[in-house]
Amino acid sequence: MKHKAYFFTILFNVLFIIAVFLVDINASFGHSIWLLYIIPLLVLSAQDITVVYVISVAAADTVFILIKSLLTFNPYDPGSILFNVSLYLITIWTIAYLQIQRKKANSRLKESEILFRSTFEQSYIGTGHIGENLRYLRLNRQYCDILGYTHEELYARTFYDITYAEDLEKELPFFHQLQSGEIELYSIEKRFVLKNGSLLWCFNTKSRAYDSEGNFKFYITTIEDISVRKNYEEALRQSEERFRRAIEDSPIPIMIHAEDGEITLVNEAWTELSGYSREDIPTIPDWTKKAYGSKNYEVESFIKSLYNLKGKNVDLELKVRTRFGKQLIWQFYSAPLGNLPDGRRLVISMAMDITNRRIIEENLRQSEESFRLLADSLPQIIWSTDSDGWHTYYNQKWTEFTGLSLEESQGWKWLDLIHQEDQQRTKEIWLYALSSGKDYEIEHRLRRKDDTYCWFLTRSVPMKEGDGIIKWFGSSTNINEQKIIQQELQQALSKLRESETNLLNAQSLAHMGSFYIDALNNKVEWSEEVYRIFEMDPGQPALSINDWMEHLYPGDRATVLKAIDDAVKEQNAMTAEYRIFTARNRIRHVATISQPVYDSSGNLLKVYGTILDITERKLAQTRLEKTLKELERSNVELEQFAYVASHDLQEPLRMMHSYAELLEKRYEGKLDESADDFLYFITGGAKRMQQLINDLLQYSRVTTRGKPFEPVDCMEVMSNVLDNLQISIEESGARITFDSLPVIRGDETQLVQLFQNLLSNSIKFCDKKTPEIHIGLEEKDNEWIFSVKDNGIGIDPEFYDRVFIIFQRLHDRDKYPGTGIGLAVCKKIVERHQGRIWVESERGKGTTFYFTMPKK
């Protein structure tokens, strides 16, 4: 219709122009020619499809005729006047019609554009236009919202930039075909890279768009978020994979089979137990023929009935022959598993190998009599009941303990023997075990035949057959002694807690705290006393290792670090004394003992330790050291004075003693009796004074006249001592024995004096018994411990320290002569050799003197 309108319009236009130029327009012919043009023009203009074109041509022709008519206008010709009037009217109509049609066209165009924009922008699908340069030309809001970009950000990118690289490789072949025009559109599921870097699954289409002339304009692209579906598909795939893996990895034999006999899945447990591979049993007939032999058709028929199951099937027990000829007893459970995509129904079958259980049950029945014989030989009370808890059996120990026969104890009569306080609880727990089928265990008191009660631990387990309990077997063990022990233990624990409290109090009184270090977690815990030592609030966290190091006195830090390193290397306890700064910046002296704990590889796990505030002790020690220095100086002066005094007294005392003896010889018996006594007292006193002076000199010479230390063989020392004491030994009849004695470093003369003084004391203080003396030796890590043991009169413990004090005597001089300086000299000799000396004794049971000598 469009082409016909064009044709007729052009034809009439040509004819009209020819007529106008060749024919002079007059009233009749001109009017006819104009009507000849106007009529078809009006008819054709009624077609919307040709309005614009036809009216445009008509307008042009009208203008042309108007000009021509003005040039040829004859006011006296009616035809010319009519023609010109008609021409003016037609011209006005044409211009008005053109204006109306233009407005309608603009209105339709605007309406179409609004409709397009509304559809484009409000679409729930992301839509856009891509230019030939692959950049976005136009995008709706949904497109930007789905991908999380703004319009400006996407206009600056191509779809290459926001497509996941792996998916872009798959898409490019399709896009290249679209570019070349081989295809008009394609669809693909791919991942877009969102603005935040995450990936989003979308359904994407691209197609070519053309203009009215058929020329390519741009690509139309749409995207739809399918991430929910993709996530669901992935979850479904994972679920199916987990289901498959659960079946494959299950220790229980499992098979899935279809109603046409195909075995779609059989797990490894099934193949391992049966010995048949998946290739051996592709179908149910193959399985039944191999596993059930002559019963294969019967079993196969039963399996076919499983496909009509609506729920779980009751179990079926069958004997299965393995590939190796062994016969097993399997218990099968089956359930429907839905349909395959092709409609075939599926069933899952699980099997449990109960061969051993059946053998055990058979053996159990056969050994029931043996059990009864064994039960009577056990120290516990053994009993059994039926499934309802009715007691049907007791062993002999029940009768021995309760005094009741089996007939007197059947049923629930045992409950009357339970202590009144335990009856209700025992009954409730027993009823619960019966109803639940769970093991039964309780502690209760049971009455003995002498009406006393003993604590028993009663346990019972059910014996099951199939799904039901057929019997209960129980034992009651007498735990009365354990209960008594538990009560004692509780009392001990109570005392332990009390001791812990006392320990904390003692720590506080002794200014000693404890700490714990978790080396793995770098955690430190303090007792309250440690907080007090550091002058910190117990609510604060304990100092870490690094913070603790900061509180060390700078001058002691190196010493502490070395002690820690040595303890770690040797894996021993660490002991150190050092100074710290408290939270109030005061200096305190502390002593630390810590014990590390290591694992089997030698790695430090934890440390336990104590910290003692020794500030007062250190201050006292400082004062004591000062006092000791003064005392040492005083002792030196005193020893020098004693030596000089005793030395200077020797000569006048010797002269006094000589003249006293001379008087005694000349005048004894010549004067009266009192004079003889006076002379005796003078000579005796002079002798004792001379002995005291000699002993005092000997005591002072231990320090002032000591020889340098050198190796001394103690066996030779004992030989010299025995020679020196030979007369005393013979007179007293003493028996002296000694161990093999070592070589030590010391002053040989003083060591002889040490042993000689100790042995002479043992001989002297033996009363009327024959002295028996033994010199013993014990070796320690860094020292030798010598002992001199006798069978003498002994010493009271209250005098242990007094015997080593100079001039101290415990006995009358007439009975046991001496000056009381011998043991004081022994103590001084031992201390000069850096040893210790002490005594252990009991009056009337002998005495043992111990002294130590260092090995180095």
Instruction: Compute CA distances 586 → 317, 548, 589, 783, whole Å.
Output: 86, 15, 10, 42
Q: What is the pLDDT of residues 683-729, one digit of tens each?
A: 665 665 655 555 555 665 565 566 788 999 999 999 988 988 888 88
For residue 41, what is the enclosing H or E element?
A: helix 29-45
Give the up-direction half-sphere exposure of residue 642: CA atoms within 13 A in the CB hemisphere: 19
If we measure between CA atoms, which residue out of 81, 90, 101 comes closest to residue 16?
A: 90
- Check: CB of residue 115 under 8 Å from CB of residue 108: no
Q: Among positive and negative, which fits the CA dihedral 727, 732, 735, 738?
A: negative
The H-or-E segment that residue 675 falls in is helix 673-704
Contact at 8 Å (CB) between 16 and 33? yes
CB burial readout 181-217, b (16+ within 10 A) else e: eeeeeeeeebbbbeeeeeebbbbbebeeeeeeeeeee
Burial (CB count <10 Å: 0-12, 13-18, 19+), residue 629: exposed
pLDDT tens column, 420-455: 999 999 999 999 988 888 899 999 999 999 999 999
Q: How many residues does the chain have?
A: 856
CB 444 within 8 A of CB 426: yes
Residue 471's CB is within 10 A of a number of other CB atoms, namely 16
| ∠ CA 70-71-76, rounded to 5° | 75
What's the rounded Cα separation, in Å, for the pair 173 and 218?
19
pLDDT one-digit tens code per residue, 471-530: 888 889 888 888 888 888 887 777 766 665 655 555 555 568 888 888 888 888 888 888
Q: What angle do CA 803, 805, 809 make, to 5 degrees?
A: 55
Provide the sign of the torsion angle of the four alpha carbons 337, 340, 346, 350, taken in this order: negative
Give residue 16's pLDDT.
54
Nearest CA to 460 among 449, 444, 448?
Answer: 444
pLDDT, tens only, 335-356:
888 888 888 998 888 888 888 8
pLDDT tens digits for 278-312? 888 899 899 989 888 888 888 888 888 888 877 76
Q: Beta strand 512-518 with 391-394: parallel, antiparallel or unpaired?
A: unpaired
401 pLDDT more than 60: yes
Q: What are the backbone dihedrals phi and psi of residue 374, each rounded to the nearest 5 degrees, phi first?
A: -70, -40
635, HSE (Cβ side, Cα atoms, 13 Å): 11
Hey, what domains does the chain have and what are their CATH numbers?
2-118 (no CATH), 123-225 (3.30.450.20), 232-359 (3.30.450.20), 367-478 (3.30.450.20), 511-613 (3.30.450.20), 614-703 (1.10.287.130), 706-854 (3.30.565.10)
Residue 822 DSSP SS3: helix
Q: Which two tokens stand for residue 240?
A: 């199916």
Residue 802's CB is within 10 A of a number of other CB atoms, namely: 14
Query: By the 8 A CB rule, do 792 and 756 touch?
Result: no
Which residues have CB under 8 Å from 607's CB, separation 6+?
516, 517, 519, 594, 595, 596, 597
